Amino acid sequence: MSYTFYKAGVVPRTGTLAQLLDAARQGEIVLDQSAGWMSRLGQCESDAAHILLVGTLSVPAPVRTPAYAAAAHQRVTYLYPSLRTERAAGLDRAMRAGQGARLTVVLDESVLMKAVGAPRVMAGQLTHLIRLATSGAATIRIVPVRTDPGVIVPECVLGELRLPTDEQVYTAESADHVSYSMAPDESTHRRQVLHALLNVSLPQPQSINLLQRARRFWLLRHVTYRWYPRLTVRTARRAV
């Protein structure tokens, strides 16, 4: 993620989650990239009473299946080997939806068609999202492709977390770090991006239709993925 997304300077910090948030309250945009950053972000999500997440490149961690989380982590660690130590925390964050916080997730439609793992992994992930939406455990909204939200959308997972203290903390999670903001200027900017995408997303019934359509696509790909090698071998034998 490009740091040009931030309006103010980024301050790398180390410490506990409480220390990081205290620094954010003082007006800093706190960058957490030291070991354990994903666990601290997971703790912040667990403490929140309401979470709004926007994913434009991948499914956000709290609504991932373990298989999707493992495949995503494997892809990221190829580029960032140091993240291997964060694997357990990444898997622990998966499938946390419905465990306390009221959760709303906005996804770009392209995320539904972007392969992370094998086709069966994608089909399973979409089945999980559909179950969350239909059971009421989470609100899942899809932004159709070619929709102009009227804002520049950063390539990261943006979050708006309401803490038990009724404070709002804004997060921007990239592959190898997360930043926290509670400063008025930057928080306003992030809030505008989050809610602009929420406002142009489809209502949940229409979003579920898109999820079901994408699941059918990946289920078909799964069947083809399983049987195509066998058909190829049979065709080759007949040719001989």
What CA dihedral angle connects 15, 20, 23 and 29, to 10 degrees? 120
Give the pLDDT confidence score for residue 35 in this predicted structure. 84
Q: Quick count: other Cβ atoms within 10 Å of Cβ 224?
A: 11
Distance CA 38, CA 155 (A): 18
Three-state secondary structure call for residue 29 = strand
Identify the weakest region by mean pLDDT among 32-36, 53-57, 194-198. Answer: 32-36
Identify the weakest region by mean pLDDT among 27-36, 134-143, 197-206. Answer: 27-36
Q: What is the pLDDT of residues 115-154, one digit of tens each?
A: 999 999 999 999 999 999 999 999 999 999 988 888 888 7
Give the start-end residues of each E strand in the chain: 10-12, 29-32, 50-55, 102-108, 139-143, 157-162, 168-173, 178-181
Q: Greater confidence, 202 or 78? A: 202
- Check pLDDT > 90 for residue 206: yes
Give the pLDDT confidence score for residue 240 in this predicted structure. 36
Range 9-239: architecture per CATH: 2-Layer Sandwich (3.30)
Give the pLDDT confidence score for residue 6 in this predicted structure. 42
Give the pLDDT confidence score for residue 73 in this predicted structure. 85
Q: What is the pLDDT of residues 74-126, one digit of tens each?
A: 877 767 666 666 666 666 777 666 567 799 999 999 999 999 999 999 999 99
- The model's confidence at residue 168, banded by pLDDT at 50, 70 and 90, is very high
- The model's confidence at residue 13, banded by pLDDT at 50, 70 and 90, is confident
Distance CA 6, CA 31 (A): 11
Angle, helix 37-47 to helix 17-25, in steps of 10 degrees = 70
Three-state secondary structure call for residue 150 = coil
Give the pLDDT confidence score for residue 151 in this predicted structure. 81
- Check pLDDT > 90 for residue 155: no
